[in-house]
Chain A
Amino acid sequence: MGIISRVPIIAEKIPGGAIVATSLEKILNLSRASSMWYLLFGTACCAIEMMCTGASRYDFDRFGMFFRASPRQADLMFVAGTITYKMAPRVKRLYEQMAEPRYVIAMGGCACNGGPFYYDSYAVLKGVDLIIPVDVYLPGCPPRPESLMEACIKLQEKIKHEKLQDWSSDKRG
């Protein structure tokens, strides 16, 4: 996809060409943000709230979000639940199996920094950002479905501000 990241540079040289670059940017970002398919991955209590958010009353489908079981077909991973040292290598492997562009929302206190299991526990990883890069942190134990939808909307806004120059690189490293 190196061609698309060169579009702004080429468009600058043509008079009035910048508008092509920004319109293309807007359309591509909008299409990415409106159809995020998330990976069904939940370990603990936050997984039940994630399931409830995807079901009746709070519906994820109206955002264009639908669950996929395989990481190859997903764009977004909710890390919902406590991550232990035994589970950490598997989470990293799941993240690496997802195709770019990929985003991560750390849902709940346990994924943000260890949560109620920070003190006195010998087996809990104190925050999932120690192993994978996180885009949105969502505190709560467990966070309400409305909070989860707010986090998704924030992620959509973050995506809509992305630049075309960064299209071909995974800028989060």
Chain B
Amino acid sequence: MADSGTIIRLLVEKFPSQVEAIELNPVQTAVQIDPKIVVAFFEYIKTHPDLKMAYLSSISGVDMTTNIDIVYFISSIEYKHKLTVRTKVERLGGKIDTISTMIKGANWFEREIWELFGVEFVGHPNLTQFLLPDDWDEGPPMLRDWTGRNFVKMPEIGG
């Protein structure tokens, strides 16, 4: 099992200016990557003999008010190590390449982020209505400043 330092060293050596290690609380192996290399990055960590990370746990989208962050969690079954990968796209009309042709499990995760946050995944085979009703016309609802017709906000109780 490769430890955290080795993993980061291998990744930074392969993509020198587009991958950097970040520190999070609590301590975990995490990198920030440039969105343009996302397909090449996941190809590399899937096929490298010391990494072999092909087991995708989750992809989540986060609205950081200035841009949208996409966070991937991937781990390895053979070596039992794991990695957090963060990348940034624009808030309205952002685009990023899809990894669902390479890792099939990413299909529905990306579809959900497209529907709820409005990020387009270039090359995705099926970006259609998923969780929301078929006649939804009020925009991506998970953005922090979204309001809609039937949205009742909880009143502040006490002080």
Contacts and interface: CB of A to CB of B under 8 A. Distances in A.
- Do A and B share a direct contact in the complex (Cβ within 8 angstroms)? yes
Contacts, number: 25
Interface residues of A, number: 10
A170 interface: no
A123 interface: yes
Could you say which interface size class chain B belongs to? 10 to 19
B115 to A, nearest CB: 12
A85 interface: yes
Interface in A116-134: 118-123, 126
A119 B150 contact: no
A86 interface: yes
B113 to A, nearest CB: 17
Contacts of B134: 86
A120 B154 contact: yes
Contact of B133 (A86, A119, A120, A121): A86
B153 interface: yes
B133 A122 contact: no
B141 A122 contact: yes
A123 B133 contact: yes
A119 B141 contact: no
25 contacts: A84-B133, A85-B133, A85-B150, A86-B132, A86-B133, A86-B134, A118-B152, A119-B152, A119-B153, A119-B154, A120-B151, A120-B152, A120-B153, A120-B154, A121-B151, A122-B138, A122-B141, A122-B146, A122-B148, A122-B150, A122-B151, A123-B132, A123-B133, A126-B150, A126-B152
Interface of A: 84-86, 118-123, 126
